[in-house]
């Protein structure tokens, strides 16, 4: 049977979910230090490959991909500064967000990396709106989908499925990678924790902590089911924006 873990805490209003300023500043630094490493990793991967070529068409394409990733780095720095939990309020956390558009952005972020590492990435993109914050939701999904891709074996598959069920949407990120041990499962959402299956994959162990804290602010419950050696499924539940 797969092991499972859930995270999420109830909150009554914005004052309940916003921590003291000092903690929020530290969290923002963590977000900038971690989230912005991901597009940089994509850029470095393709620049390194381009340097091994003769700057023919493939090299030019790879450099173009790298430059786009660096461009996203600059854009995300501005967006994350504006949408920091330190500045969060109830209105900014409960906006109408185009889910198809958010998933399309995350798809563009990871599709080249997935292709380069031999992982198939399939993302459902339903035409629906949800109650969330676009930048924060994109950060959650970028982390979860990126982790699934990075920790998958060559030839593996990452599938993102969206289930519309009345007033809510459940997004499942499913991989057939290394899976998570029972011992690691209970602490994967803690800061600076890395599982024993990460191998040589770079990271500080902040990604899922950021996911947990951001999801808490947005009131988006997250669960994870995993079988060691077979793969994992992370699920995020979002309220639909029904006008």
At 21-43, the pLDDT tens digits run 446 555 655 566 566 666 767 77
Partners of residue 129 on adjacent β-strands: 98
Per cent of the chain over pLDDT 70 is: 67
Cα gap 146→106, rounded to integer Å: 9
Radius of gyration of the chain (CA): 18
Please say if the pLDDT value at position 5 is more than 50.
yes
Closest CA to 185 of 208, 218, 215: 208
Reported as type and span, the H/E element at residue 128 is: none
> CB neighbours (10 Å) of residue 89?
11
Give the pLDDT score at 18.
47
pLDDT at 141 over 70: yes
Task: Report all structural domains of the chain as residue ranges with CATH numbers, in order of start.
Answer: 3-239 (3.30.565.10)
Dihedral over alpha carbons 46, 47, 52, 57 (to 10 degrees): 70
pLDDT of residue 15: 40
Average pLDDT over residues 207-230: 88
What pLDDT does residue 84 have? 53
Q: Is 229 left (phi over 0), alpha (psi -120 to 50) or beta?
A: left
Which residue has 């930048």 as its token pair?
135
pLDDT at residue 199 is higher than 90: no
Top-confidence residue, 224 or 49? 224
Q: How confident is the model at residue 132 (pLDDT cuts 50, 70, 90)?
A: very high
- β 168-175/129-132 pair status: unpaired
Tens of pLDDT, residue by residue over 76-87, are: 655 555 545 555
pTM above 0.85, yes or no: no
Per-residue pLDDT of 228-240, as tens digits, reads 889 999 999 999 9
What pLDDT, on a 0 to 100 scale, did the predictor assign at position 188?
84
């Amino acid at each position: 049977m797969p092991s499972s873990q859930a995270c999420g805490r109830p909150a009554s209003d914005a004052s309940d979910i916003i921590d003291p300023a000092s903690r929020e500043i530290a969290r923002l630094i963590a977000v900038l230090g971690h989230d912005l490493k991901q597009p940089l990793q994509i850029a470095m991967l393709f620049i390194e490959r381009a340097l091994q070529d003769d700057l023919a068409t493939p090299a030019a394409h790879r450099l173009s991909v790298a430059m786009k990733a660096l461009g996203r780095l600059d854009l995300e720095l501005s967006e994350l500064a504006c949408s920091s939990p330190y500045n969060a309020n109830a209105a900014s956390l409960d906006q109408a967000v185009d889910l198809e558009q958010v998933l399309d952005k995350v798809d563009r972020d990871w599709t080249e990396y997935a292709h380069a590492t031999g992982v198939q990435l399939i993302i459902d993109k339903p035409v629906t709106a949800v109650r969330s914050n676009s930048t924060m939701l994109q950060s959650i999904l970028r982390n979860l989908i990126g982790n699934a891709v990075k920790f998958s074996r060559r030839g593996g598959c990452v599938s993102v499925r969206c289930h519309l069920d009345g007033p809510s949407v459940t997004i499942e990120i499913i991989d057939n990678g290394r899976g998570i041990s029972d011992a690691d499962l209970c602490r994967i959402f803690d800061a600076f924790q890395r599982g024993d299956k990460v191998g040589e994959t770079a990271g500080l162990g902040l990604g899922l902590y950021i996911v947990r804290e951001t999801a808490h602010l947005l009131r988006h419950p997250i669960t994870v089911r995993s079988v060691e050696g077979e793969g994992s499924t992370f699920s995020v539940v979002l309220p639909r924006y029904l006008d």
